[in-house]
Amino acid sequence: MSSPTAFAHLFEPLQIRGKRLKNRIMSSGHDTSMPTDNRVNEPLIAYHQARAEGGVGLIVLQVAGVHDSARYTSHVLMATDDRCIDGYRTLADACHAHGTLVFSQLFHPGREIMESADGLLSVAYSASAVPNERFRVMPRALDQATLDAIVAGYGAAARRLHQAGLDGVEIVASHGYLPAQFINPRVNQRTDGYNGDLEQRLRFLREVIAAVRAATSEDFIVGLRISADERDDQGLSEDESLAAAQALQTELDYLHIVAGTSASLGGAVHIVPPMAIEAAYLAKNAGTFKAALNIPLFVTGRINQPQEAELMLARGQADVCGMTRALICDPRMPVKTSTGDVENVRACIACNQACIGHFHKGLPISCIQHPETGRELRYGAQQPAIRRKRVLVAGGGPAGMKAAAVAARRGHEVTLCEAAAQLGGQVLLAQLLPRRAEFGGASTNLQREMELAGVRVLRNTRVDRALVEREKPDCVIVATGAVPYWPAFERGGELQVVDAWQVLRDEVPLGRSVLVFDWRCDWIGPGIAERLLRAGHQVQLAVNGTHCGENLPLYVRDQLAGELHRLGLPITPYARLFGCDDNTVYLQHTASGVPMLFEGIDTLVLCNGHQPVDTLADQLQGLTEVRRIGDCLAPRTAEEAIFEGLQVAWAL
């Protein structure tokens, strides 16, 4: 157990405009895809209430649109009429009951329009008719009447949020959204007094702040979020953002910095920086802003663990740390840390799979490690078992470990058997890929959950019918996983063919010239290719999809694509494996059917997905109750495996 005094800065209260933050931990504004009809609903309230119960000091709610043209997704919250007030009030009351302050973001995307509700392209507005690269939007320059209506919309939205009992609002000028489009001289090309020197480019934002102040009370907090650096050639630089912040600080109660821009693929990676980005990577930028400002500085940027936040605060680089994904992964992280239980915090691994990955699919967010997130109404309160059962779990991968931990917490007597010496299943391989070491944390966290729940773990123990007959469990949960799938293809000659597992385990020496064939279009193929390239092999990558990483969360994919491009890795899309001979691999273009030949190849590496290991369940038929979960049921990802572990254990 660690001492709470080790986090003295993290749990020091902060006063802002008469309001008291009980600690320096913030859940920053992030879209959840939970709202229905663009309003607060029960799932969203339960989601935030869980984090308030877990001890977070400040919750900044996701963006609230201030004008009808602010609908950047079909499920955005809107604060454009008084019908929104009751929902916000219920949410605020639920969080206030736990001593948590609640702000809402005020938002207009400008040209950054992702989608519409009916599939038709929206009319997007910006400071000027300068297009967005990422969504390929050509906006319409705001005329004065529409500009004035949007400014008034900020004020009206703030009034409604204030009336609902929220403690403040955060005006979003980050990530290249509308206020940043006015500040940016490469986007703002107006000639009407809203462009020119910095003061003129800040005119729109000053009008917004004034409208918000005029519509609320003296004790209502007004902050601003801005990208410290938009990380794009056409975006705001650190110098430009800092100058804007300095000019506006007397009108604000705090400044919140992030990084990146929605306007480009490379800049958008920083909206939710993936595992490949260094933890707490904005500490230096934060220090620069903190030293130049006289108002509190909030910072968000992959601050995953309490130790990272405490260090930034102790160094004077920030006043409040946004730890959003850390709270998605472990809603009780603040209270665990404050009570000296930090060793049992479930650490976020920044996989982006179920949080921002779900959002980009228009689905409610969750967490692969903590699937209860986003499902609080169903799984929020642990239900004790009605009857204590003897449960045997066969397989110590993510599915089996989650099932064992949840079943034991509910009161069942649980034994988990793993055939290998180590727990973790395919996580043990995933962590060996370049820049994926943190993925191993999923296994570490699940093992700790089992330990705390009192699960009996037997390693080097393969479950068979005889073992089940001896143990006499009431239920066997089969989580025996999968093995690499080798497709049927024409083979002639002596060309070496291996699979991804053999490469990662260093089981065979490989030839110099390697072709990696990637059917899954996920992390495995490009990861293997990069690993071999860095080891000195001559490598090419052929993918079955339209592009490398097609099935990955967008920001993970784009960061990976940038890295592979820098390394000069040749990538061939639309590829289907046909056959091979002594030194040639034969592929087929999936759209045209035309053959594609790769000559001079020494080794072909197959990344063709997996096939289930599913013999045990049939052996046990008629002996006891059997439940299959994870890859033995159908090979998918760690997210499905862990969720099914929760699901089956909940039903026992």
Pick the closest to residue 415 from 472, 456, 362 (CA basis): 456
The CA–CA distances, whole Å, from 438 to 201, 275, 357, 428, 537 equal 42, 7, 18, 11, 25
77 within a domain of the structure (yes/no): yes
Q: Give the pLDDT confidence score for residue 2 in this predicted structure.
A: 58
361 within a domain of the structure (yes/no): no
Domain boundary, last residue among 345, 377, 400: 345
Query: 169, 105 in Cβ contact below 8 A?
Result: yes
Same domain, 57 and 174: yes
Average pLDDT over residues 391-419: 98
Catalytic residue among 177, 194, 379, 574: 177
Same domain, 193 and 341: yes
Q: Give the pLDDT confidence score for residue 119 in this predicted structure.
A: 84
Pick the closest to residue 224 from 243, 204, 209 (CA basis): 209
Query: 53, 331 in Cβ contact below 8 A?
Result: yes
Distance CA 594, CA 519 (A): 18
Q: Work out the pLDDT band at 118, boundaries 50, 70, 90.
A: confident
**CATH number of residue 560's parent domain:** 3.50.50.60
Taking 80 as the threshold, does the pLDDT of residue 361 lie above it? yes
Q: Give the pLDDT confidence score for residue 74 in this predicted structure.
A: 87
111 within a domain of the structure (yes/no): yes
Alpha-carbon Rg of the chain, whole angstroms?
Answer: 26
Whole-structure pTM value: 0.96
The total number of structural domains in the chain stands at 3
Distance CA 486, CA 606 (A): 7
* Crossing angle of helices 144-163 and 85-96, rounded to 10°: 40
Q: Give the pLDDT confidence score for residue 650 in this predicted structure.
A: 96
pLDDT in tens, 40-96: 999 999 999 999 999 999 999 999 999 999 999 888 999 999 999 999 999 999 999
Domain with 213, as residue range(s), is 4-345
Three-class secondary structure of residue 255 per DSSP: strand
Burial of residue 615 (number of CB atoms within 10 Å: 0-12, 13-18, 19+): exposed
Report the 10 Å Cβ neighbour count for 309.
27
Taking 70 as the threshold, does the pLDDT of residue 280 lie above it? yes
Selected residue with higher pLDDT from 122 and 313: 313
Same domain, 468 and 512: no
Q: Which two tokens stand for residue 558?
A: 């784009």
Rounded to 5°, angle at Cα 317 from 303 and 265? 50
Domain boundary, last residue among 345, 376, 395: 345
Same domain, 599 and 646: no
Taking 90 as the threshold, does the pLDDT of residue 386 lie above it? yes
Q: Which two tokens stand for residue 334?
A: 């603040």
**CATH number of residue 456's parent domain:** 3.40.50.720
Same domain, 191 and 220: yes
365 within a domain of the structure (yes/no): no
Query: Kind and range of the H or E element at 458?
Result: strand 456-458
Q: Which two tokens stand for residue 287?
A: 């220090």
Q: What is the β-pairing status of strands 101-107 and 25-27?
A: unpaired
Burial of residue 308 (number of CB atoms within 10 Å: 0-12, 13-18, 19+): middle
Burial per residue of 272-291, b for 16 or more beta-carbon CB atoms within 10 angstroms, e otherwise = bbbbbbebbebbebbbbbbe
Burial per residue of 30-40, b for 16 or more beta-carbon CB atoms within 10 angstroms, e otherwise = bbbbbbeebbb
Same domain, 538 and 416: no
Same domain, 599 and 629: no
pLDDT in tens, 94-113: 999 999 999 999 999 999 99
pLDDT in tens, 132-169: 999 999 999 999 999 999 999 999 999 999 999 999 99
Distance CA 502, CA 521 (A): 19
Distance CA 331, CA 399 (A): 21
Establish how many alpha carbons lie within 13 A of residue 376's alpha carbon, considering only the half-sphere containing its beta carbon.
Answer: 22
Same domain, 127 and 163: yes
Q: Can you say how many angstroms the Cα of residue 439 is from the centroid of all Cα atoms in its chain?
A: 13
Q: Give the pLDDT confidence score for residue 4 in this predicted structure.
A: 61
Distance CA 234, CA 236 (A): 7
Q: What is the β-pairing status of strands 571-572 and 625-628?
A: unpaired
Same domain, 390 and 516: no
pLDDT in tens, 471-517: 999 999 999 999 999 999 999 999 999 999 999 999 999 999 999 99
Average pLDDT over residues 422-434: 97
Same domain, 157 and 271: yes
The CA–CA distances, whole Å, from 121 to 71, 73, 150, 212 equal 11, 11, 20, 30
556 within a domain of the structure (yes/no): yes
Same domain, 589 and 637: no
Rounded to 5°, angle at Cα 566 from 560 and 570? 80
112 within a domain of the structure (yes/no): yes
Q: Give the pLDDT confidence score for residue 522 in this predicted structure.
A: 97
353 within a domain of the structure (yes/no): no
Three-class secondary structure of residue 72 per DSSP: coil
Distance CA 240, CA 261 (A): 14
To the nearest whole percent, how much of the chain has pLDDT over 70? 99
**CATH number of residue 65's parent domain:** 3.20.20.70
Same domain, 99 and 234: yes
Distance CA 48, CA 52 (A): 6
Q: Is-catalytic flag, 574?
A: no
374 within a domain of the structure (yes/no): no
The CA–CA distances, whole Å, from 523 to 431, 526, 527 equal 11, 6, 6
